[in-house]
Chains A and B, each alone.
Chain A
Amino acid sequence: MTVETNLPVDREYIRSFSAEKGEGQWLADLRLAALEKAEELPLPKADKTKITNWNFTQFPSHTVTSEPFSSLEELPEEVKTLINMEEANKTLYIQRNQTPAFLSISEELAGQGVIFTDIATAVREHSDLVQKYFMTSAVQPDEHKLTALHAALMNGGAFLYVPKNVEVKEPIQAVYLQDNSEAALFNHVLVVADDNSAVTYVENYVSTVAAESGVVNIVAEVVAGTNAKVVYGAVDNLASGTTTYVNRRGVTGRDARIEWALGMMNDGDTVSENVTNLIGDGSFADTKQVVVGRGSQSQNFTTKVVHFGKHTEGYILKHGVMKDAAKSIFNGIGKIEHGASKSNAEQESRVLMLSEKARGDANPILLIDEDDVTAGHAASVGRVDPLQLYYLMSRGISRHEAERLIIHGFLAPVVEKMPIEGVKQQLTRVIERKVR
């Protein structure tokens, strides 16, 4: 059976949706053009996973209004544990389904000219800045059906702008809470770090309700200017009925750095692309990703670093644990373009299988069009080592606890990288719950 490709919205709807949000003409036009593309463009290629009958387009409701939170005390427990409730002067955005539900920005940051706000407000109040970067340099609306659909239907997200020479010390946090099973989410995160700036942004996607056929489509764009540094942490933890497309992409200026720490903990079918385009000479990308698959979910993860600039370095490290009848494909791509001399592309993928029915595939790919470079890859798919189990058990530790230790240990290199303590602990708890 194939899902209807007819979209549940039309031009008229988009026009009025855009007008209601008070968006400039540029965005209304961009949306309408994208809607047309969405009708004709094919789905993205998710190598080795058949996604043609996944539901990315049919959802009960594109606009849902939720109550904002008047104080952090009102937050559901799942969200409270993520944030440092003690810290009064934090920079935090909470979105409830599609509604901006809480925002605080520290005085220091505001004073330095840092902009952090929900995407709709940003479009209204910082139209020029947003227009300059929104789906222009990292992700394009016309790449495939899902980027087009995203541009046409964007109904949530955040904008973060760090001006030149500003180094933000404290991590900036966003929580995207799904507590209405009707709500489809087309979330756009735009992070712009201007020259010589530094910032850490950490986001959580949390479902507190199970959707029957939820649709989430996320595009995150990171633009790192000359010598800028962006650390981007994420824990995706959407419910089993939700089909997710998530595309996180960065572009680097000269000597810029982007570091990703991604905890891919969705319980539903997921297509994830994480791409860093190393444009500027001397720029650097590091991607660390952990995945736990369970139940009968199917997931496809592409992690890619493309080297355009000279002396660029790209590192990919992925660790996945597959249990039950979960299926995952891990495509790791290091691509070095002609002219990107003295560059280095390294990647490592490790998959640990916990059951006979689970499937995990690690496909390391190096595409190199330049002689004067270095590159390497390592990949493995295996089971819990019986000798390691024996060793731990010989100290009195039960089989179950020994397995738990080995699995946590296997995922530790990425979990340890989470920039916010609360988020690191949450990721540990989610892993705990999922591998149990």
Chain B
Amino acid sequence: MTASTLTIKDLHVSIDGKEILKGVNLEIKGGEFHAIMGPNGTGKSTLSAAIMGHPKYEVTQGSIELDGENVLDMEVDERARAGLFLAMQYPSEISGVTNADFLRSAINSRREEGDEISLMKFIREMDAKMDLLEMDQDMAQRYLNEGFSGGEKKRNEILQLTMIKPKIAILDEIDSGLDIDALKVVAKGINEMRSEDFGCLMITHYQRLLNYITPDVVHVMMQGRVVKSGGAELAQRLEAEGYDWIKQELGIEDETVSQ
């Protein structure tokens, strides 16, 4: 495998006819960890949803490419098989489908018919990853996210990440709702993925995640755009001082996308 590149240029996205993203530019390469921060309602989840192909979000302008391939031409499942992964802020619950069956389908979707992963191998891998993430073994046979606590859902997203091993992952508030111990465990799972072949975009509100997973680049989103980028120290300053200084610096009054 070689390092992949996700390139987003001048991305404009609307939902129900309302423009939310107003020209996002971003490039994420294998081996890099990026963080996106920004006040509520500034378009962070919208960006992640547009990358993955959420049915309600409409790209009206700009491009998304993965290693030169046009992502916008792909169905959601094709995007995933091309190497994209999104840990969702609010994962769906699916009754009657066990976590294990779901994950096996996900893995087999990347393999040829007749070359499905053996049940033994799958169970061994899943057991190992669940151990790493300190998940109860019976979570494998529970229905997908059904009745999972907020923290359990987040761990389950990371379990999928470590099993599926995408090229580029977007993690939307993977730290929200986690207690300190769970945060460490989840960070351990994410750090395990670190390699030249894996790029990651973490959407977060808190420096505490970034204490465990040091980002190479930090971006700030306001008004549906990336308004500032910097190194890990930018996140620290935001944690200490909030967003007002950026707004002043850039002359922004209302940081949301609503104006």
- Partner-B contacts on A (CB < 8 A): 385-388, 390-399, 401-402, 405-406, 408-413
Contact = CB atoms under 8 A, between A and B. Distances in A.
Interface string B108-131: 011000000000000000000000
Contacts of A391: 88, 91-92, 94
Label chain B's interface by main secondary structure: mixed
A288 B96 CA distance: 15
A397 B97 contact: no
Given A391-B88, A406-B97, A410-B96, A399 B143 contact: no
Given A401-B105, A401-B109, A409-B97, A396 B80 contact: yes
Contact of A396 (B96, B109, B143, B144): B109
B122 to A, nearest CB: 15
Given A390-B76, A397-B105, A409-B94, 14 more contacts: A388-B94, A390-B53, A394-B53, A394-B79, A395-B80, A395-B102, A396-B77, A396-B80, A396-B106, A397-B102, A405-B94, A409-B97, A411-B96, A412-B97
Contacts of B55: 386, 390
Contacts of B76: 390, 393-394
Interface in B48-107: 52-55, 75-77, 79-81, 85-86, 88, 91-92, 94-97, 101-103, 105-106
Contact of A409 (B106, B109, B143): B143
Q: Which 4 interchain pairs have the tightest Cβ spacing?
A: A409-B96, A412-B96, A391-B92, A396-B80
Max chain A CB contacts within 10 Å: which of B53, B55, B94, B103?
A: B94
B80 A394 contact: yes
Given A395-B164, A396-B110, A388 B102 contact: no
A386 B55 CA distance: 8
Nearest to B106: A395
Contact of A393 (B77, B85, B144): B77
Nearest to A410: B96
A392 B96 contact: no
B86 A394 contact: yes
A385 B56 CA distance: 13
Nearest to B88: A391
B86 to A, nearest CB: 6
Interface residues of B, number: 30
Interface of B: 52-55, 75-77, 79-81, 85-86, 88, 91-92, 94-97, 101-103, 105-106, 109-110, 143-144, 160, 164
B103 to A, nearest CB: 8
B74 to A, nearest CB: 11
Given A390-B54, A393-B77, A396-B81, A413 B109 contact: no
A391 B91 CA distance: 7
A397 B88 contact: no
Contact of A399 (B77, B81, B103, B106): B77
A388 B110 CA distance: 20
A349 to B, nearest CB: 15
Contact of B102 (A399, A405, A413): A405
B63 to A, nearest CB: 20
Contacts of A395: 80, 85, 102-103, 105-106, 109, 160, 164
B95 A412 contact: yes
Contacts of B80: 393-397
Contacts of B52: 390, 394
B44 to A, nearest CB: 17
A117 B185 CA distance: 61
Label chain A's interface by main secondary structure: helix
A396 B92 contact: no
B79 to A, nearest CB: 8
Contacts of A397: 77, 80, 102, 105-106, 109
B77 A405 contact: no
B165 to A, nearest CB: 11
Given A390-B55, A391-B88, A393-B75, A398 B94 contact: no
A406 B144 CA distance: 11
A391 B96 CA distance: 15
12 contacts: A387-B92, A388-B92, A390-B76, A393-B75, A394-B52, A394-B79, A395-B106, A405-B101, A406-B97, A409-B97, A410-B96, A412-B96
Contacts of B143: 409
Contacts of A398: 77, 109
B156 to A, nearest CB: 12
A402 B106 CA distance: 10
A269 B75 CA distance: 38
Contacts of B144: 409
A411 B80 CA distance: 27
A387 B88 CA distance: 11
Nearest to A412: B96
Contacts of A401: 105, 109
B150 to A, nearest CB: 16
A409 B94 CA distance: 7
A412 B106 CA distance: 20
Given A394-B80, A395-B80, A406 B94 contact: yes
A356 B258 CA distance: 37
A406 B101 CA distance: 12
Contacts of A385: 92
B110 to A, nearest CB: 6
A236 B54 CA distance: 40
A386 B56 CA distance: 10
A304 B51 CA distance: 50
Nearest to B79: A394
Contacts of B97: 405-406, 408-409, 412
Contacts of B92: 385, 387-388, 390-391
Nearest to B110: A396
Given A399-B75, A405-B101, A405-B102, A413 B94 contact: no
Nearest to A391: B92
